[in-house]
Structure 1
């Protein structure tokens, strides 16, 4: 399992920072400390795959 930080999440998804936090379907972040957060890379990839599969 790999945790990725915000810049990589934004790069992978193409979302803006505000867009990322506004999307309720986006995977939840993991708190790393008092200020640090990251996301589980496999959850981000699954989210992207779901978005691709849902397109018509």
Structure 2
């Protein structure tokens, strides 16, 4: 049971914008536009003035982009 719980924690890791920017290379406005069009994973609210992105969803988006380019 503990192993299953650890896997869920890894899957649900949340990244904030500075890490997201390093990972995908897009600025806030580009990410916002893509989110609005449904072409980038939606952010999740973390508090009143903060948000983050589920890392596994961002990784899947990157892999999808890589497949399109290749």
Which of structure 1's runs of 4+ aligned residues deviate more than 4 A? none
Give the structure, 1 or 2, with the largest relative contact order (CA under 8 Å, sep 6 or more): 1
Q: Output aligned runs, 1:36-55, within 5 Å.
A: 36-55=50-69
2:25 is equivalent to residue 14 of structure 1: yes
Gaps of 5+ in 2: 1-11
TM-score, normalized by length of structure 2? 0.75
Of structures 1 and 2, the larger Rg is shown by: 2
Higher helix fraction: Structure 1 or Structure 2? Answer: 2
TM-score, normalized by length of structure 1? 0.92
**In the alignment, which residue of structure 1 is the partner of 2:43?**
29
Gaps of 5+ in 1: none
Q: How many residues align?
A: 56
